[in-house]
Structure 1
Amino acid sequence: MAPQAPLSIQLVTEISRLEGVEPFELPPLEDCVDTESLDKLFGHPNAPFHEGSVRFHYAGYEVTLNHTGEFEIN
């Protein structure tokens, strides 16, 4: 089984799909959230949180990311 892409990459990929653009055409995610921390805290099954979420705005969307690594884009 191939390793899953980091959560930050998955998020940018999904928003680029919604926008109909290439990921590199979006603003850098790092401009609004620390992507390294995001990936470490929420991006894998052994993340340190058993519950919780983080919410931020990116590329005109409100993103809510929960402790399981799932995200909602509005």
Structure 2
Amino acid sequence: MANGGDTADTSIRTATSQAVVEAVATAEGVPPAELCPPEYEPLHDVIDPEALDALFAPRSHGGPRPGGTVTFTYCGYDVTVETDGTVRLD
């Protein structure tokens, strides 16, 4: 794991769950499609991807959500998702 963490820019509005998978795959040096069992645990085993996407999706009127973060452990990384969609791995 990188000292100080790695981040992924999700300003193009990738679904948050997909951004998490892509960030972990990049850190592991594998394509996202290869981030699967038996070597890697499925994301849905640690967090509900649909709930994660909904939590960070723009509001129905298009405005941003208020500040906040979610942190969980996935594939050996402490994953933190920021309100702006930034994914940080520690």
TM-score (norm 1): 0.78
C-alpha distance in 2 between matches for 1:38 and 1:4:
13
Could you say which structure has the larger radius of gyration?
Answer: 2
C-alpha distance in 1 between matches for 2:46 and 2:64:
22
Partner of 1:53: 69
Q: Percent identity?
A: 39
Output one character per residue of 1:21-67: Cα deviation in whole Å (capped at 9) or x when no partner: 2324332101000110100111x333773011111000000011112
How do residues 29-48 of structure 1 correspond to structure 2 at under 5 angstroms? 29-42=43-56, 44-46=57-59
Matched, 1:69 2:85: yes
C-alpha distance in 2 between matches for 1:21 and 1:33:
21
**Aligned with 1:20 (options 16, 29, 34):** 29
Q: Which runs of 5+ in 1 are unaligned?
A: none
TM-score (norm 2): 0.66
CA RMSD of aligned residues (A): 2.0
Q: Which runs of 5+ in 2 are unaligned?
A: 1-11, 36-40
C-alpha distance in 1 between matches for 2:52 and 2:87:
12
Q: Structure 1 residues 28, 20: CA separation in 2 closer, same or farther (over 3 Å shift)?
A: same
Higher RCO, 1 or 2 (CA under 8 Å, sep at least 6)? 2
C-alpha distance in 2 between matches for 1:60 and 1:30:
15
